Chain A
Amino acid sequence: MEDEITPHPIKITINQDPDQNDKHCSSILTRLHAGYFRITLSLGAQALLWKTLVEHTHESLALQRVLRTLPSTVILLLWWLSLFTQLTLSLLYLLRCVRHFRMVKAEFSHYVGVNYLFAPWISWLLLLQSAPSVVPKIISYRIIWVFILPVVVLDVKIYGQWFTTEKRLLSIFANPTSQISVIGNLAGAWAAAEMGWRESAVCMFTLGATHYLVVLITLYQRLSGSCRIPARLRPVYFLFVAAPSMGSLAWNSISGSFDTSCKMLFFFSLFLFTSLFIVNKECTTIVAWWAYSFPVSFLALASAEYAQQVKGVVAPGLMLVLSVLSILVFLCLMMFTAFNTNLLFRENDPNFNKSLGNTIH
């Protein structure tokens, strides 16, 4: 037996998926990406809008007649729903970080995925702001830093890479989702101003405004070497509306009143909204549809603040129109998602899960 030259034994090992049990869970984790936080972003924005509208109706008689139908229980319900969704998604994403850290890293290096990493923190900030009086202010005061700090860290990393290294060349990689990072800064500024910290608020606002200027100009130029966003991605263009609206809200909180700069930002956002309205809209997945909701909610919020400052007919009318639009969009999205929850995670989004896909979700 041993005299003969025996061939090397060929070992065949079959690598199986170790856990067949939580295969379903694993597949959700693989499909989850930061873009899903658009849902919680929209939920939070909507809750904040309802809360703001109700607050304003106490001051304006005209609105009371219209918005009396929004009972406070519904608002509370919405807030708890957003909180629950946010907690679930955050937990799932945490699990994903633990189990599939490689994928999270790939997201970070993708020129679109990296921007969505701001989305969870923005959602948390919005949730804290829209918290009903049940949640004491002290808690918000303490934990708001937990959410602003990651934004600053991401800022330093990403914005620093913009102008120091060639890793993320802005002229090539700038795309409408880059505005989410700006919105993150502005949301942080807004939250800080609401808490009363003026200096940090101004600091965050400056960060947001400066980089917004750079991103806006680069995006408007649509340089020929840049990554083109395919025509299917219209919802992403609504981010153009979200950024100046958030800026106007932030400056409103900082300066105390809806002054001329806030008005200018609000009007610019309104103009962009009008011009985008005409653009043909198509979407690929349900999550992409959610990208419509929060920019319109932000715009409606800004118009609510504007209507508070400017009396008359036009301003409250504008507020009404935008709020109704925002609520309608939100309700449609809720129903659509409710009826198609199976599609929510089943759709394999190759764009996000591939590390360097050129097509964007």
Chain B
Amino acid sequence: MPSSPLEIHVQNTKRVLFIDHDEPIFNNRTAHSYVPSTYAGTKQPKFLPEPILAGSAFDETVACGLFPNSPMLPPKNLRTERLKDKRFDYFKTWSGKFEKQLSHLRGKPPETGPDANSPRKVEVETLHVDRYFDALEGPELDTLRASEEILLPEDERWPFLLRFPISSFGICLGVSSQVIMWKNLATSASTKFLHVSLDVNLILWYIAVALVAIVFIIYMLKVIFYFEAVRREYYHPIRINFFFAPWIALLFLAIGVPPSVAQNLHAALWYILMTPIFCLELKIYGQWMSGGQRRLSKVANPSNHLSIVGNFVGALLGASMGLKEGPIFFFAVGLAHYTVLFVTLYQRLPTNETVPKELHPVFFLFVAAPSVASMAWAKIQGSFDYGSRIAFFIALFLYFSLAVRLNFFRGFRFSLAWWGYTFPMTGAATATIKYSNEVPNIVTKSLSVILCVISTLTVTLLLGTTILHAFVLRDLFPNDIAIAISDKRQKTSRKWFHRRTVSSDKDIENYLKFAVSDSNDIEASLAPPSSITNTSIQNSGTAGTHSNQSPSGPTP
């Protein structure tokens, strides 16, 4: 039995240096909004200060998550409640504020020097886009690779806001495009024979408005409370495209507004809605061309169509409002970038890691851009002329080539993003209605009816699946793995260890504090302080064996 506390430090050193990679982050981020005052008096000096203790709780749980047979598993009661909250502090927006207030509790002031430096460095560090490719796989880049670990525990249910991805705006897209389709069905000359009433459009519009409002509010809450998660979604190669989805949904709502609600919308609305789209695409297209990480040959994927479609939808709305130059502007920009994207996706370059290898519903986004472009061009020119027809036929061809391969769309996990993939089908149906207005014959009319029926059926099916997942299976919002990936791979942790050994003593001492409390905070909550030394000794043995398999963390 070690006779002095120092020896315990030494024994736990190895373990600490492997586990506490995230320490700089969590040490300071998880500023531990609640410092357990109960521990203040009972701690032996080596277990001070509380923030480190609490921060190590994170590592504790991470370690627990990895080593389920570890004797350190906490009994699940009030201690777990506190653990849970602190784990997600990294993603919380305001946890950083407490860091400064509580930094004095770290103990010796000189320590805060190097300590304060590293977290600041880590705070501004953003995940390199390569990291997403390394850690995730799957057509929507949301499945974790086997060799990766994540920052949050996989077996726990995360807070709802953390599980609410931006791709939920896909529902808004799907429903609001239905609004437009039913409006066209009711008002077009070629579909008058169906006698569709405008009430359908009205009801759907109100439903869509409500849905958009709800999703907007929830996501706003996420922005307010979990800004870090939103930031990580922004840097995700696929999720970035869904940042266009809210604005496109609003544009759809404006296009599909029932005549009984508003006849002529004010032009200012168009400018308001197009501004965020314009800013976003300045950023993204600029990155394609000259920015560092997101080279198109690497990140091009079918979801990029969402960033292009916004241009065409805006052009459509602007032209229907009577604007002249603005719609042409956005049409030109959209067309140019669409050509580039289209060719790149068709090439399926070997360097392209994001194009799904198998067919996936995301491929339906291919149909979106040409169908909306054809409608937009028809509105700009005033009639469905050759330009529109060319675009429309391209859309039809892509639709058919995907439809005949329908049996390959199998075996995919349902996700809310699938709603977003229905709007191309609805868009194609609407474009067919417009085309049949221009060229009214039995073929075009029946085609438009068939496509509308398919689109409605798909949406109904999706609705059923959504309800099933929401209320029966209760996994509509699974843990959003994609935003919780760690900064560095596992194997680099060994390099970090070697580097760490030559770092300042202060750092090591700091980590030692982590280590000791790390192994003990579970028991510490239950056992009196006098027994802490005993438990730490017992645990150090197991800790030693686990040290080689510790999770990865960011290298300082």
Residues on A lying within 8 angstroms of B by beta carbon are 213, 216-217, 219-224, 237, 240, 260, 263-265, 267-268, 270-271, 274-276, 278-279, 310, 314-315
Contact = CB atoms under 8 A, between A and B. Distances in A.
Interface string B518-531: 00000000000000
Contacts of A278: 282, 286
A212 B331 CA distance: 19
B332 A265 contact: yes
Interface string B278-315: 00001001101110000111101000000000000000
Given A240-B289, A275-B285, A279-B286, A217 B295 contact: no
B296 A222 contact: yes
B339 interface: yes
Interface stretch (B8-16, B343-351, B356-364, B430-438): B343-351
Contact of A216 (B324, B340, B380, B381): B340
B257 to A, nearest CB: 26
Interface in B319-358: 324-325, 328-329, 331-333, 335-337, 339-340, 343-344, 349, 351
A222 B332 CA distance: 22
Contacts of B333: 267-268, 271
A230 to B, nearest CB: 12
Interface residues on B, range: 20 to 34
A268 B543 CA distance: 61
A53 to B, nearest CB: 21
A226 B289 CA distance: 13
8 contacts: A222-B289, A222-B296, A260-B380, A264-B328, A268-B336, A271-B282, A278-B286, A314-B325
A212 to B, nearest CB: 10
Contacts, number: 75
Nearest to B331: A264
Nearest to B381: A260
A178 to B, nearest CB: 14
A224 B297 contact: yes
A276 to B, nearest CB: 8
A129 B380 CA distance: 34
Contacts of B339: 213, 216-217
B297 to A, nearest CB: 4
B328 A260 contact: yes
Given A221-B297, A276-B290, 20 more contacts: A213-B339, A216-B339, A217-B339, A217-B343, A219-B289, A220-B296, A220-B337, A221-B349, A222-B296, A224-B295, A240-B289, A263-B328, A264-B328, A265-B332, A267-B333, A268-B332, A271-B282, A271-B332, A271-B333, A310-B324
Contacts of A260: 328, 380-381
Contacts of B296: 220-222
A213 B343 CA distance: 11
Nearest to A269: B332
A223 B351 contact: yes
A263 B332 contact: yes
B335 A223 contact: no
Contacts of B285: 275
A227 to B, nearest CB: 14
Contacts of A263: 325, 328, 332
Contacts of A217: 339-340, 343-344
Contact of A267 (B282, B295, B332): B332
Contact of B282 (A220, A221, A275, A315): A275
Nearest to A222: B295
Contacts of B336: 216, 268
Q: What secondary structure prevails in chain B residues at the interface with A?
A: helix
B539 to A, nearest CB: 48
Closest 8 CB pairs of A and B: A264-B332, A275-B286, A267-B329, A222-B295, A267-B332, A221-B297, A220-B340, A223-B297
Contact of A222 (B297, B335, B381): B297
Nearest to A315: B325
Contacts of B343: 217
Interface string B97-114: 000000000000000000
B189 to A, nearest CB: 27
A312 to B, nearest CB: 8
Contacts of B337: 220
B322 to A, nearest CB: 14
Given A264-B331, A268-B336, A223 B282 contact: no
A276 B339 CA distance: 20
A264 B332 CA distance: 5
B332 A237 contact: no
Nearest to B330: A267
Interface centre among B285, B343, B349, B380 (most CB of A within 10 A): B343
A315 B325 CA distance: 9
Given A275-B282, A278-B282, A279-B290, A221 B340 contact: yes
Nearest to B300: A221
A224 B290 contact: no
B328 A267 contact: yes
A267 B328 CA distance: 8
A43 B365 CA distance: 47
Contacts of B349: 221, 223
Contacts of B381: 260
Given A237-B290, A264-B332, A221 B295 contact: yes
Contacts of B289: 219-220, 222, 237, 240, 275
Contacts of B288: 220, 222
B345 to A, nearest CB: 11
A3 B329 CA distance: 95
A215 to B, nearest CB: 11
A248 to B, nearest CB: 10
Contacts of A268: 332-333, 336
Nearest to A265: B332
Contacts of B297: 221-224
B80 to A, nearest CB: 47
B332 A274 contact: no
A221 B288 CA distance: 7
Nearest to A213: B339
Contacts of A274: 282
A314 B325 CA distance: 10
Contacts of A310: 324-325
A93 to B, nearest CB: 31
Given A264-B328, A268-B336, A271-B333, A221 B286 contact: no
Nearest to A220: B340
A279 B288 CA distance: 13
B335 A221 contact: no
A265 B286 CA distance: 18
A279 B332 CA distance: 22
Nearest to B337: A220
A268 B281 CA distance: 13
Nearest to A225: B351
A224 B297 CA distance: 7
A240 B290 CA distance: 11
A263 B324 CA distance: 11
A263 B328 CA distance: 7
B379 to A, nearest CB: 13
